[in-house]
């Protein structure tokens, strides 16, 4: 039985990847941080009682900022494959916590690579690192591919740039099977609530159900190449099954503005929204509501801009070229954006209906 170790196992991608690897027959170890409240919602359905026999899913407390802890877990678990997904992953928050972000996202990756060296596992253990399209930052070339120069635009992206190059360096210096998956944005109903897609689909559900008045957003001109997390974790696994370790761009090749995502998400609930004005004065209004369950009058303002959500330096346009992954890995996405938006809006409406909550707080992020 192959053994995998996933850092960030209770995050969006960690949850989908753990599910995939368990389906493939792996023994899956996951690292989660200690928190004052239980934070395993996304993986509770995978839980196995450690007292049972033949348990194939096991959680360990750990942190990417703690080398001795990482060395001990890797020594105990002896993984064939490590998927390093843990990170302070919110770009805007990285401007508030730049030092911590560098420590966890940059040096954290080094700690795992060094643990493998210290433990003599450089030839046994393959490592996947969660690299990102944020490395491309300020547009240098369209579409962005493996050879496009990097120009990071946030402390998050700069930390991930270090992680990218240390993975390349350890591969070249020590012959390790270490790869970067340069993944473009990927979303799902499990997406963290303060990333823009989930913030939007949650707000659409709450506004439709009369639990929230308005959605406040930052830069709606930003364009992203959005895929589905389920398709992207499959690519992570494929990257580690090749003969030679290499880096791959994973993307859909289609880009959409935040504003168009907002329109698509409202449309899923039968609500047509139009925009007027520019910059901080931009507003989104209900044009019509064809769903008789939702009481939204035409003309109601449902989207406003709040400058607090603008970033000191923005990434304006991401659009990836996944040709290499398609040719070498045979990877193809199964979801398109419309199917994903539909799934996300439907999931949030169901969650709120079940919750019994009548008023939503505004999310900061």
Active site residues: 132, 134, 156
Q: Which is nearer to ligand GDR, 270 or 365 (CB)?
A: 365
Q: Look at the alpha carbons of 287, 290, 294, 295 in this order and tell me if their dihedral is positive or negative.
A: positive
Q: Which residues pair with 128 in a beta bridge?
A: 83, 179
Shortest Cβ 88–ligand NDP spacing (Å): 5
Q: Which residues contact 104 (CB under 8 A, 6 or more apart)?
A: 63, 64, 65, 86, 87, 88, 159
**Binds 13: which of ligand NDP, ligand GDR, none (CB < 5-8 Å by kind):** ligand NDP
The 250-269 contact track toward ligand NDP, x by CB under 6 A, reads --------------------
Contact criterion met (CB below 8 Å) for 258 and 222? yes
Q: Which is nearer to ligand NDP, 265 or 286 (CB)?
A: 265
Mark out the alpha helices in 39-152 (DSSP H runs): 67-77, 91-96, 98-101, 108-118
Restricting to residues 19-78, name those near ligand NDP by CB under 6 A.
33, 35, 39, 63-65
Number of residues that bind ligand NDP (CB under 6 A): 25
The 188-227 contact track toward ligand NDP, x by CB under 6 A, reads ----x-----------------------------------
Instruction: Give the H/E segment covering residue 2.
Output: none
Does position 91 interact with ligand NDP (CB under 6 A)? The reply is: no
Shortest Cβ 193–ligand NDP spacing (Å): 10
**Binds 39: which of ligand NDP, ligand GDR, none (CB < 5-8 Å by kind):** ligand NDP
Shortest Cβ 194–ligand GDR spacing (Å): 6
Restricting to residues 68-87, name those near ligand NDP by CB under 6 A.
85-87
Contact criterion met (CB below 8 Å) for 268 and 349? no
Of 40, 29, 31, the closest CA to residue 61 belongs to 31
Q: Which residues contact 25 (CB under 8 A, 6 or more apart)?
A: 1, 2
Burial 50-69 (b: 16+ CB within 10 A, else e): eeeeeeebebbebbbeebeb
Shortest Cβ 172–ligand NDP spacing (Å): 22
Q: Which residues bind ligand GDR (CB under 6 A)?
A: 89, 91-92, 132-134, 184-185, 194-196, 199, 217-220, 222, 224, 258, 309, 311, 314-315, 365
Q: Which is nearer to ligand GDR, 114 or 314 (CB)?
A: 314
Does position 180 interact with ligand NDP (CB under 6 A)? The reply is: no
Q: What share of the chain is helix, strand, coil (3-state, %, to 5)?
A: 40, 20, 40
Q: Report the distance separating Cα 22 and Cα 149, nearest Å.
A: 37
Residues that bind ligand NDP (CB under 6 A): 7-8, 10-14, 33, 35, 39, 63-65, 85-89, 104, 130, 132, 183, 185-186, 192
């Amino acid at each position: 039985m192959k053994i995998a170790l996933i850092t960030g196992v209770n995050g969006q991608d960690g949850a989908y990847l753990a599910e995939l690897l368990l389906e493939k027959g792996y023994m899956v170890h996951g690292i989660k941080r200690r928190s004052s409240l239980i934070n395993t919602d996304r993986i509770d359905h995978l839980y196995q009682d450690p007292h049972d026999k033949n348990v194939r899913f096991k959680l360990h407390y750990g942190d990417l900022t703690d080398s001795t802890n990482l060395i001990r877990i890797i020594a105990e678990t002896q993984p064939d494959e490590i998927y390093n997904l843990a990170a302070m992953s919110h770009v805007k928050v990285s401007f508030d916590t730049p030092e911590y972000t560098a420590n966890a996202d940059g040096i954290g990756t080094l700690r795992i690579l060094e643990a493998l060296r210290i433990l003599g596992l450089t030839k046994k253990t393959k490592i996947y690192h969660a690299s990102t399209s944020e490395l491309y930052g300020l547009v240098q070339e369209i579409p962005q591919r493996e050879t496009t120069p990097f120009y990071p635009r946030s402390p998050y992206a700069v930390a991930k740039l270090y992680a990218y190059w240390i993975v390349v360096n350890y591969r070249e210096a020590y012959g390790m099977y270490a790869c970067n998956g340069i993944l473009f944005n990927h979303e799902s109903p499990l997406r963290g609530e303060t990333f823009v897609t989930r913030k939007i689909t949650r707000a659409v559900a709450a506004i439709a159900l009369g639990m929230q008045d308005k959605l406040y957003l930052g830069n709606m001109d930003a364009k992203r190449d959005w895929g589905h997390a389920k398709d992207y974790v499959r690519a992570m696994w494929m990257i580690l099954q090749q003969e030679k370790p290499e880096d791959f761009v994973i993307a859909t090749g289609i880009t959409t503005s935040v504003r168009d995502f907002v329109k698509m998400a409202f449309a899923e609930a039968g609500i047509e929204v139009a925009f007027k004005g520019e910059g901080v004065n931009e507003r989104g209004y209900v044009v019509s509501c064809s769903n008789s369950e939702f009481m939204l009058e035409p003309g109601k303002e449902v989207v406003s801009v709040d400058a607090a959500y603008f970033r000191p330096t923005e990434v304006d346009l991401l659009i990836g070229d996944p040709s290499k992954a398609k040719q070498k890995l045979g990877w193809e996405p199964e979801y398109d954006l419309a199917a994903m938006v539909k799934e996300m809006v439907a999931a949030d409406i169901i969650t709120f209906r079940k919750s019994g909550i009548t008023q939503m707080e505004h999310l900061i992020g």
